[in-house]
């Protein structure tokens, strides 16, 4: 995809809107209301070539326009984002709990991507993979557009070895270690992922590493909420999980009960440098705040 014609502003790139075709002002007003109309009339909307859209602009079906979105009101996440490693190509951080990886829904400015772009002055920063908002730990970003695809492909192809630790209850009758395999489906608009009959698409090695309920989880696939679903399926939901096995409504400003899940370690062969890379969270096992 060609670069957006508007630069990153305040850590956030412009929104891209694909058009149905016809007068742009009328379409944007019908779809997004008076705020979008005001942006067009103020000259704040451009086409793919960076040409300013005005009240008379007509564009064909499939054309795109770009504009900066209005940020929602967000509760600040009161945790820093420690940098574990940084060079010209990548930035590796120790993401805190409660901070989404990148903008989605009501979480925009309070995301690791936007905050790090601002803090590190890296407008091309982009995540090579994602962690759930409630999961803490090692998260890798690319610093330059030119290397983005190489690192993202590592994760997409399953070439990154990941290790997590989690806290959960104990069940002496449960034989561990064991490999959990299931078919996990996450549907748009649904908070929970579900296990369905069919060919397994998710696999996790579960090991008990201490008698106080600390587990090592080694995912061999990367389905949404995979570790949380697999632990709940064993009757050992991760402590602090507001989704599994049951949905619990949590106030947006309540940071007192983090999910006891930490992305502790990632290892991979660097596609640019060629060397073996290992990055480890500095958070102590069992310390979740």
Positive or negative torsion for Cα 100, 137, 131, 239: negative
Tell me whether strands 136-142 and 261-269 are parallel, antiparallel or unpaired. Answer: parallel
Of the candidates 50, 4, 52, 5, the residue with the CA atom closest to the CA atom of residue 24: 52
* Catalytic residue flag (residue 87): no
Q: Which residues contact 155 (CB under 8 A, 6 or more apart)?
A: 128, 129, 222
> What φ, ψ does residue 58 adopt, rounded to 5°?
-125, 130
- As a whole number of angstroms, the distance between CA 148 and CA 145 comes to 5
Per-residue tokens: 137: 């730990």
- Residue 113 has, within 13 A of its CA and on its CB side, a CA count of 23
User: Of these residues, 47, 49, 73, 132, which one is catalytic?
Assistant: 132
Active-site positions read 132
């Amino acid at each position: 995809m060609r670069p957006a014609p508007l630069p990153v502003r305040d850590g956030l790139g412009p929104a891209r809107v694909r058009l149905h075709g016809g007068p742009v002002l009328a379409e944007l007003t019908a779809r997004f209301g008076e705020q979008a109309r005001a942006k067009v009339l103020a000259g704040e909307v451009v086409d793919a070539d960076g040409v300013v859209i005005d009240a008379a602009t007509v564009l064909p079906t499939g054309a795109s326009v770009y504009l900066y979105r209005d940020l929602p009101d967000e509760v600040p996440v009161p945790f820093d984002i420690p940098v574990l490693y940084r060079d010209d190509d990548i930035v590796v951080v120790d993401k805190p709990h409660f901070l989404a990886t990148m903008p989605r829904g009501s979480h925009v400015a309070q995301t690791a991507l936007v905050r790090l772009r601002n803090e590190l002055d890296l407008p091309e920063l982009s995540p090579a993979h994602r962690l759930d908002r409630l999961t803490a730990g090692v998260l890798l970003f690319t610093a330059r557009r030119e290397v983005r695809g190489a690192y993202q492909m590592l994760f997409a192809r399953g070439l990154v070895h990941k290790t997590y630790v989690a806290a959960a209850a104990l069940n002496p009758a449960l034989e561990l270690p064991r490999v959990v395999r299931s078919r996990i489906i996450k549907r748009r608009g649904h908070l929970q992922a579900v296990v369905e009959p069919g060919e397994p698409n998710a696999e996790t090695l579960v090991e008990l590493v201490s008698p106080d309920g600390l587990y090592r989880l080694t995912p061999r696939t990367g389905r949404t909420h995979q570790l949380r679903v697999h632990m709940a399926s064993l009757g050992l939901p991760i402590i602090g999980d507001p989704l599994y096995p049951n949905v619990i409504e949590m106030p947006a400003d309540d940071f007192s009960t983090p999910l006891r899940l930490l992305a502790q370690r990632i290892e991979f062969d660097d596609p640019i440098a060629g060397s073996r890379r290992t990055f480890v969270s500095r958070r102590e096992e069992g310390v979740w705040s």
